Amino acid sequence: MTSRLSSHVVSANSDSTDFPLNNLPYGVFSIDSGERRCGVAIGDYVIDVATLERDGTIDLGKPLLQSGVWNPVMEAGSDVWEQLRLRLISLLDANSPDQNHVTNALVPLTEVRLHMPFTVAEFTDFYAGKHHATNVGTMFRGPENALPPNWLHIPIGYNGRASSVVVSGTQIRRPWGQLKGPDDAAPRFAPCARFDIELEIGAIVGQSSDGPVSVKTADEMIFGYVLLNDWSARDIQAWEYQPLGPFQGKATATSISPWIVTKAALEPFRCDAPAREVELLPHLKDAGPMLYDIDLSVTLQPKGKGPTVITQTNYNEMYYSSAQQLAHHTSSGCPMRVGDLLGTGTISGANKENRGALLEISWGGKEPITLDSGETRSFVEDHDTVTLFGAACANDYRIGFGRCEGTLLPAKDNPFA
Ligand code: CA
């Protein structure tokens, strides 16, 4: 395990900062209503790399940091990814000769507004956590049929919508949808009454492909990772999901954290997937450690009250890596694009306190949880704020993801009335 790198930005040298010099996550910020600029988090600051490129301090061969999104850097390829990271480390290192110049480009994080760090080309969501799939399957189909027969052979997924992916801090509106009536009653159109979260990680595809790619190549194509909350309307989903899978139940919003944590920063935290229960076909076989040891947690905070931790788990609980999901995604010849976002699927651990969705935590609403405020919850209530946290932790530093946060607003009046 590597140790913490020392920076001339003093707040980056704390054991508890999310953003030590080892991390250098990529985001997009503005000051007041100013233009969107590419920035990199370091300690309590964001460094304005768009300005440093304009004045020649960062030179990537051609301008890549001026568009207010990170897609051009991704598209430039892995040599440029490495070149930029090495340049940033040298500029921010404790012994940097450029210290005074770089300090002028630092903006306190408390003074910036964060935006979508990249343009999402397309969004695909998977279902690759075995504990989650087993729990949900047990609730929907009984314990004998919990895991579908294909589950141990392929990472199941569906094509979602890029248009509904939003950055942390965006408020979420409770949706209306078609819900099954009780017993044989006719379905009705009503506000969702079982609005839920899903704790996931999103992998960002940084290189395009045209045709099937191997698991090893898929891993090389991934640029970085974000926290991802796949907001889910369980009552809409339960009525609509057979036989083609989720649709409107997943279409309201998907929140992501504002900082892209690069694959390079996570490298010391790679770990193997769990033991295979059945042998995978050759094109999906593990090609090295491709999961990461990332601690994850979620808090739920009612309006005017303190937050309660409702779950704690780890990304290493996944059965399939994002690289395996990406390889599977291309196996039919499906082209991938720069900026494609792949959700892992809900990350649940073995026990009740490690489950990544309220559907599982409250067992379909039958076992509501009690918050620190004394209130109970089966699903998300109006004005609740849900926050995802994630960090890969070494002895003296952490690779933090920042927050992925959203507040649920009440449903509006019937949009069709
Ligand atoms: Ca999901």
First vs last C-alpha separation in the chain: 60
> Which tokens go with 357?
């969705």
pLDDT at 1: 59
What confidence tens digit (pLDDT) does each residue in 267-312 have? 999 999 999 999 999 999 999 999 999 999 999 999 999 999 999 9
Q: Is 132 annotated in the active site?
A: yes
Task: Tell whether the model's pLDDT for residue 9 goes beyond 90.
Answer: yes
pLDDT at 123: 98
Task: Tell whether the model's pLDDT for residue 380 goes beyond 80.
Answer: yes
390 CA to centre of ligand 1 in angstroms: 17
- Written in H, E and C, the secondary structure of the chain is CCCCCCECCHHHHCCCCCCCCCCCCEEEEECCCCCCEEEEEECCEEEEHHHHHHCCCCCCCCCCCCCCCCHHHHHHCHHHHHHHHHHHHHHHECCCCCHHHHHCCEEEHHHCEEECCCCCCCEEEECCCHHHHHHHHHHHHCHHHCCCCCCCCCCCEEECCHHHEEECCCCEECCEEEECCCCCCCCEEEECCCEECCEEEEEEECCCECCCCCHHHHHHHEEEEEEEEECEEHHHHHHHCCCCCCCHHHCCCEEECCCEEEHHHHHHHEECCCCCCCCCCHHHCCCCCCEECCEEEEEEECCCCCCEEEEEEEHHHCCCCHHHHHHHHHCCCCCECCCCEEECCCCCCCCHHHCCCHHHHCCCCCCCEECCCCCEECCCCCCCEEEEEEEEECCCCEEEEEEEEEEEECCCCCCCC
**Distances 345 to 27, 115, 243, 269, 309 between C-alpha atoms, Å:** 23, 24, 19, 20, 20
192 CA to centre of ligand 1 in angstroms: 17
Burial of 277 (0-12, 13-18, 19+ CB in 10 A): exposed
> Which tokens go with 217?
């190549």
pLDDT at 115: 98
Q: 60 with 84: CB under 8 angstroms? A: yes
pLDDT at 377: 98
pLDDT at 128: 86
Which of these is catalytic: 8, 131, 132, 329? 132
400 CA to centre of ligand 1 in angstroms: 22
Output the average pLDDT for the chain.
Answer: 97
At a CB cut-off of 8 Å and minimum separation 6, what does 374 contact? none
> Which tokens go with 53?
């490129």
244 CA to centre of ligand 1 in angstroms: 15
115 CA to centre of ligand 1 in angstroms: 22
73 CA to centre of ligand 1 in angstroms: 28
Task: Tell whether the model's pLDDT for residue 76 goes beyond 70.
Answer: yes
389 CA to centre of ligand 1 in angstroms: 17
259 CA to centre of ligand 1 in angstroms: 20
Degrees to nearest 5, angle at CA 119 with 259 and 40 = 30
- Burial code (b: 16+ CB inside 10 Å, e: under 16) for 323-346 equals bbbbbbbbeeeeebebbbbbbbbb
What confidence tens digit (pLDDT) does each residue in 169-219 have? 999 999 999 999 888 899 999 999 999 999 999 999 999 999 999 999 999
C-beta contacts of 30-36 below 8 A and 24+ residues apart: 30/112, 30/113, 30/115, 31/107, 31/111, 31/112, 31/113, 32/113, 35/68, 36/68, 36/69, 36/115
Cis amide leading into 410 (omega within 30): no
In whole angstroms, give the CA distance from residue 66 to residue 53.
Answer: 8
**Distances 218 to 166, 392, 396, 405 between C-alpha atoms, Å:** 25, 22, 31, 29
126 CA to centre of ligand 1 in angstroms: 6
What confidence tens digit (pLDDT) does each residue in 315-369 have? 999 999 999 999 999 999 999 999 999 999 999 999 999 999 999 999 999 999 9
**pTM, 2 dp:** 0.97
255 CA to centre of ligand 1 in angstroms: 11
Q: Which domains does the chain have, with CATH numbers?
A: 10-115 (2.30.30.230), 123-409 (3.90.850.10)
306 CA to centre of ligand 1 in angstroms: 27
At a CB cut-off of 8 Å and minimum separation 6, what does 112 contact? 29, 30, 31, 39, 46
> Which tokens go with 372?
């620190």
291 CA to centre of ligand 1 in angstroms: 18
250 CA to centre of ligand 1 in angstroms: 8
